Amino acid sequence: MTPEQKLVGLAVLILALMASAAGVTWQVQDWRMGKKMAEHAGLHKDDMAAISNAASVQARAEQEKRLTLEKQLADRDQQHARELSDAQRNQAALRDRLATADVRLSVLLDATDTASDCSVPPATGAVGVVHAARRAQLDPAHAQRIIAITDAGDRGLIALRACQAYVRAFKH
């Protein structure tokens, strides 16, 4: 073999060794990168699972708060409905008693007022806080109108308390 052939053979051998070394290095780098990518994917998966669990816990807590608030509002709504029903029943009973003259509405007269010149005798047989006070009985129709006005006022107050309770529930 000629020295030139030996030199060419040696160059080819060196190139082959360099190519195989580069291939091996490439393969090792590929394994390392694959391992790092797998580690990163695992860490990412763990992070995503933790985020998902935290979101799930928060969603459950919010749902429980919402359900609790809905229950409180429903309970308060029932309470206000009962109050309204009781007030309406009491007003109806009072209207019935006024209609049958079972009860008569009266007003106190000012005994010191000489300008009114009202000579209504004091109510007889009535026991009350004011002794021997002069009273005037109201006409039943006027009494019915007064009861209707107080009924509307009672309903308004009950509705106002219901609205205030609703607002307080959402403030907290």
Place of tokens 């030996």: 6
- The pLDDT tens digits for 41-62 are 899 999 999 999 999 999 999 9
Contact 107/139 with Cβ under 8 angstroms? no
- The pLDDT tens digits for 1-35 are 788 888 888 899 999 999 999 999 989 888 988 88
- The pLDDT tens digits for 76-106 are 889 989 988 998 898 888 888 877 777 777 7
pTM as predicted = 0.49
Q: Where are the domains of the chain?
A: 3-171
108 φ, ψ to 5°? -75, 140
The string of DSSP letters for 91-111 reads HHHHHHHHHTTSS--EEE--T
